[in-house]
């Protein structure tokens, strides 16, 4: 028969106790559960596991406070569970342990929902706030200013980890990796924030060692102001050495309000894919430093000394330009209407952003962890072609005028005006001119102008001259110009038509001598 030991009611406090082994608040019955509800454990210490409370197998804490408790030689400064730990609405404030889990430690699995870990410290292995030997699930849980001498200033787990809607801020790994979070297996990280965490070595925000099969995913998350002491992965350090393992970083924002001296994302090994992500203000945006295959597509880079380093794949869908965040100095990384990330992403099957706002909005999917309601500025192009003489004679020089206009609210860049003269017309050399002159690069037919930029509400004018060839009398010659741009999938066209006069000019007539017999 299973036994349980329960503490309920906030009137129950355990305070200012110091214990040796069994002489303290411990529950050691096999297969039994320690249940804590609406209670407080204050200023207690133990020369073993669990400075505040100890559960030999299962421990469950609801709306319970653990404050300033200590494990003087082992794990779990506030609370220790020998097999499984479940927390709901629990608070761990200023607890400490010489071993793992300054706030709480589970020798098996752990879960925490709507809980708070603040100023807890571990001088041993892993997890200044919380440590789990196997799996860990975190939902809407806050880790603030926790520290560990070794790995994971905030939280640590050896097994599969799921983190949703949680926040890691100002946590520190003083001698090792993973300032905010250290994951030693498959990780699902969703709609979470990492702000101002530090590691003395790698992975200021997150250190992920995905040493198993399957896919880890980081989605709809923010990494800002994190620092790695060795410059390798201020935000994320990713390792996925298993042949069947992979890591996907999607719809994520990695930023710093000022230029950071390290890499934002460091990939030490394995297969890593980065998509729909914003990376700003780092010495290197994405760096491959080991035996890794790194792919990136549909990402926005800005303010980095180098956007990539090492063997990092790229694509034409990568953008470089200001993300126009709302207030980076105040950790507000929502997108504004001016952002180059708006409508620039690709559909990856993610239906909402970090706040639960629908994806997509406006004209498409936004890059980064925030989906804005804005529509990206876009050009609205048109082309008009005119000819100086619609009825020329053979040998005449006619002038074509091509006007490319942008009536939209976004610039057209990389635009090209193409024009292939029909048979019967010959281009007059060096006759192509562009107004304004610096708007693009003049070249030979068919691409008369390339690298053309047309600002919103403006137009450019191209003129080109051609000679009407002999033998075209009575013919109708149609000349079509085309306009394309990087921002528009449409090919815009317009044509000008001339009908060559049947009459032959005097200079092209042949006069034979008149013979009278």
pTM: 0.82
Q: What is the total residue count of the chain?
A: 517
Q: What percent of the chain has pLDDT over 90?
A: 81
Q: Residue 516 — pLDDT band, cuts 50, 70, 90?
A: low
What is the rounded CA–CA span in Å between residue 98 and residue 140?
27
Residue 359 scores a pLDDT above 60: yes
Mean pLDDT throughout 368-397? 94
Of 23-37, 75-89, 134-148, 490-504, which gets the smallest average pLDDT?
23-37
Mean pLDDT throughout 357-382? 95
Q: What is the pLDDT of residue 1?
A: 23
Q: Find residue 154's DSSP bridge partners.
A: none
Angstrom CA distances, 370 to 143, 191, 262, 323, 376, stand at 22, 10, 24, 11, 14
Mean pLDDT throughout 255-284? 96
Angstrom CA distances, 239 to 80, 156, 202, 203, 206, stand at 30, 16, 11, 11, 11
Per-residue pLDDT tens digits for 287-314: 999 888 899 999 999 999 999 999 998 7
Q: Cβ distance 55 to 27 under 8 Å? A: yes
Of 127-141, 179-193, 363-377, 496-510, which gets the smallest average pLDDT?
496-510
Q: What is the pLDDT of residue 284?
A: 98
What is the rounded CA–CA span in Å between residue 472 and residue 508?
12
Q: Cβ distance 288 to 267 under 8 Å? A: yes
Angstrom CA distances, 428 to 33, 203, 395, 435, 497, stand at 93, 63, 12, 18, 18
Q: Find residue 113's DSSP bridge partners.
A: 88, 139
Residue 14 scores a pLDDT above 80: no
Task: State which H helix or E strand residue 512 sits in.
Answer: none
Q: Strands of 298-446 (E only): list them.
A: 300-302, 306-309, 319-320, 325-327, 332-335, 381-387, 397-406, 412-419, 425-427, 433-435, 441-442
Q: What is the pLDDT of residue 497?
A: 95
Q: Residue 20 — pLDDT band, cuts 50, 70, 90?
A: very low
What is the rounded CA–CA span in Å between residue 261 and residue 248?
24
Q: Residue 506 — pLDDT band, cuts 50, 70, 90?
A: low
161-164/136-139 β-pairing: parallel
Mean pLDDT throughout 122-134? 94
Superfamily the domain 393-499 falls into: ntegrin, alpha v. Chain A, domain 4 (2.60.40.1530)
Q: What angle do CA 407, 409, 411 make, to 5 degrees?
A: 85
Mean pLDDT throughout 10-18? 48
Q: Cβ distance 66 to 52 under 8 Å? A: yes
- Domain-wise residue ranges, the chain: 1-159, 176-376, 393-499
The three state secondary structure string of 440-482 is: CEECCCCEEEEEEEECCCEEEEEEEEEEECCCCCCCEEEEEEE
Residue 360 scores a pLDDT above 90: yes
What is the rounded CA–CA span in Å between residue 161 and residue 455?
49
Per-residue pLDDT tens digits for 314-346: 778 999 999 999 999 999 999 999 999 999 999
Q: Please list, in sequence order, all residues whose beta carbon lies within 8 angstroms of the beta carbon of residue 170, skipping any fewer than 6 positions away.
A: 144, 145, 195, 196, 197
Per-residue pLDDT tens digits for 199-256: 999 999 999 998 777 899 999 999 999 999 999 999 999 998 766 789 999 999 999 9
What is the rounded CA–CA span in Å between residue 225 and residue 236?
12
Q: Residue 24 — pLDDT band, cuts 50, 70, 90?
A: very low
Of 163, 240, 230, 236, whose CA–CA distance to 206 is shortest?
236
What burial class does residue 499 get, using C-beta atoms within 10 Å of its C-beta: 0-12 exposed, 13-18 middle, 19+ buried? Answer: middle
Per-residue pLDDT tens digits for 69-108: 999 999 999 999 999 999 999 999 999 999 999 999 999 9
Of 133, 365, 152, whose CA–CA distance to 251 is shortest?
365
Q: Which own/partner contact pairs does 282-286 have at CB distance under 8 Å and 24+ positions apart?
A: 282/234, 282/254, 282/256, 283/231, 283/259, 284/308, 284/309, 286/312
Q: What is the pLDDT of residue 244?
A: 73
Is the model more confident about 430 or about 188? 188
Mean pLDDT throughout 414-425? 94
Q: Cβ distance 85 to 62 under 8 Å? A: no
């Amino acid at each position: 028969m299973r036994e349980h030991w329960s503490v309920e009611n906030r009137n129950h406090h355990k305070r200012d106790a110091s214990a040796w082994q069994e002489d303290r608040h411990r529950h050691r019955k096999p297969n039994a559960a320690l249940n804590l509800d609406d209670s407080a454990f204050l200023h207690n210490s133990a020369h073993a596991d669990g400075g505040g409370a100890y559960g030999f197998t299962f421990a469950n804490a609801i709306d319970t406070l653990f404050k300033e408790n200590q494990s003087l030689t082992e794990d779990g400064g506030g609370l220790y569970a020998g097999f499984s730990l479940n927390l709901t609405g629990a608070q761990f404030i200023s607890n400490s342990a010489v071993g793992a889990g300054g706030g709480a430690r589970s020798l098996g699995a752990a879960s925490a929902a709507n809980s708070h870990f603040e100023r807890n410290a571990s001088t041993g292995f892993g997890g200044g706030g919380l440590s789990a030997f196997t799996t860990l699930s975190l939902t809407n849980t806050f880790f603030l200013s926790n520290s560990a001498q070794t790995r994971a200033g905030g939280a640590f787990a050896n097994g599969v980890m799921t983190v949703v809607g949680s926040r890691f801020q100002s946590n520190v790994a003083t001698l090792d990796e993973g300032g905010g979070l250290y994951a030693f297996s498959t990780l699902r990280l969703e709609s979470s924030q990492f702000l101002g965490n530090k590691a003395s070595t790698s992975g200021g925000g997150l250190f992920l060692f995905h040493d198993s099969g399957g896919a880890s995913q980081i989605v709809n998350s923010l990494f800002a102001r994190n620092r790695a002491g060795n410059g390798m992965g201020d935000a994320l350090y990713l390792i996925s050495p298993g042949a069947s393992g992979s890591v996907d970083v999607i719809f994520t924002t990695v930023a710093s309000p000022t230029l950071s001296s390290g890499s934002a994302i460091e990939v030490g090994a394995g297969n890593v894919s980065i998509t729909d992500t914003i990376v700003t203000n780092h010495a290197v945006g994405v760096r491959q430093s080991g035996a890794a295959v790194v792919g990136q597509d549909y990402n926005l880079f800005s303010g980095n000394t180098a956007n990539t380093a090492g063997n990092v794949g790229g694509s034409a869908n990568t953008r470089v330009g200001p993300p126009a965040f709302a207030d980076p100095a105040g950790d507000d990384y929502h997108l504004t209407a001016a952002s180059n990330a708006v409508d620039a992403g690709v559909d990856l099957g993610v239906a909402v952003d970090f706040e639960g706002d629908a994806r997509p909005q406006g004209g498409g999917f936004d890059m980064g962890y925030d989906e804005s309601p804005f529509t990206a500025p876009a050009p609205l192009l048109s082309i008009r072609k005119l000819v100086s003489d619609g009825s020329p004679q053979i040998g005449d020089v006619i002038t074509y005028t091509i006007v490319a206009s942008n009536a939209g609210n976004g610039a057209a860049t990389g635009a090209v005006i193409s024009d292939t003269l029909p048979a019967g017309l010959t281009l007059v050399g060096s006759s192509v001119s562009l107004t304004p002159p610096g708007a693009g690069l003049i070249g030979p037919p068919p691409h008369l102008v390339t690298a053309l930029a047309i600002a919103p509400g403006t137009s450019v004018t191209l003129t080109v001259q051609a000679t009407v060839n002999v033998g075209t009398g009575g013919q109708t010659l149609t000349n079509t110009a085309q306009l394309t741009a990087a921002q528009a999938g449409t090919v815009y066209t317009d044509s000008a038509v001339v009908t060559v006069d049947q009459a032959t000019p005097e200079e092209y007539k042949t006069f034979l001598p008149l013979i009278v017999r």
